[in-house]
Structure 1
């Protein structure tokens, strides 16, 4: 077990990000960001008008990290590095977030069918009030999807908590002809870039 000084806070609800951090031996406590409160979510993921996918994903990741920083101070928690991330899928400069319902998920998958799209993940590490950020981009090529394939996938639970309505780590992997970039980045946390930022914040990797 690592020294407590080697622990970080992960500002994310994503079980996939937790799995990926464990994969590289990073010890962490979760600072949950709430998606539902009387005042709305802790961090709104609504895109601004005319906001590019790159600016959008970087802004949301930064807002998550800064909200977690405020929470760490307000709760008088031990001072540790904070890691936050956000992932979005984009095609034709359109941001594809998490689907709101089955019709939305099916529409997204029809748009991705037989085409190449981009998956952007922005990661932020705040340590000693200093923030560092990297946005990683991968390209994903989907095979043409029949209506039967789309419908069968969308009756599962898998699409509904994921940007672009699919997860590369699940059964949607069979839709993917090829990728160029980071497999872990497509899952939600590019481990090469993440390890660099954490090491810069004094966290030993492995």
Structure 2
């Protein structure tokens, strides 16, 4: 039987798939996440998602491997995960009171081929005070998240509104991913 494998150590992606009562394994891939700066954000997230999925697929060639990557974009600049407290503060100050975009790329690699796609969601932040930014950074939450925030936890207090797929901002556009897995022939319980 062919298995579904999530090529990610992200607890958020794991939780999203668990919420769907799917049976899947996790095999994170430690890949180089550098990218060509001339690529568009959608090209970057799809390339990184496929890179992650391909590494895991090479060891599991009879499986359906799901890779994903998320970036935050503001002023045409991609914001990844902050390296330290100062960078997290800088990112949050930049996002404060403004609209930005979140791109999440997904790659599904199977024995019969690969499929890539992305979702783009617009997110607006409230105007944040220095104290709010500092308290959020001190929570430790920003450090493993693109753009230095997570919409589903404490970071939800920063977000004024969104336009698009909430789950893509969390890290995996669930509804589209399920539809693409079905099209690829992945055995799903529904």
TM-score band by shorter chain is over 0.9
Q: What is the aligned length?
A: 189
Q: Map Cα deviations across residues 10-53 of structure 1 (whole Å, 9 max, x no partner).
A: 1001011011011122211111213xxxxxxxx11123232321
Return the alpha-carbon distance in structure 2 between the equivalents of residues 98 and 189 of structure 1: 17
Alignment partner, residue 38 of structure 1: none
**TM-score between the two structures when normalised by the length of structure 1:** 0.88
Structure 2 alignment gaps of length 5 or more:
none
1:110-121 alignment runs, 5 A limit: 110-121=93-104
Structure 1 alignment gaps of length 5 or more:
35-42, 74-78
**TM-score between the two structures when normalised by the length of structure 2:** 0.95
Q: 1:51 aligns with which of 31, 34, 39?
A: 39
Return the alpha-carbon distance in structure 2 between the equivalents of residues 90 and 44 of structure 1: 20
Alignment partner, residue 39 of structure 1: none
Tell me if structure 2 keeps the 8 A contact 1:88–1:163: yes
Tell me if structure 2 keeps the 8 A contact 1:113–1:143: yes
What is the aligned-residue RMSD (CA, Å)? 1.3
1:38-187 alignment runs, 5 A limit: 43-73=31-61, 79-187=62-170
Alignment partner, residue 176 of structure 2: 193
Return the alpha-carbon distance in structure 2 between the equivalents of residues 116 and 109 of structure 1: 12
Return the alpha-carbon distance in structure 2 between the equivalents of residues 135 and 147 of structure 1: 33
Inter-CA distance 8–150: structure 2 relative to 1 (3 Å threshold):
same
Return the alpha-carbon distance in structure 2 between the equivalents of residues 85 and 185 of structure 1: 10
Q: Map Cα deviations across residues 98-133 of structure 1 (whole Å, 9 max, x no partner).
A: 000000000000110000111111111111140011
How far the C-alpha of 1:198 sits from its partner, in A, is 1.1
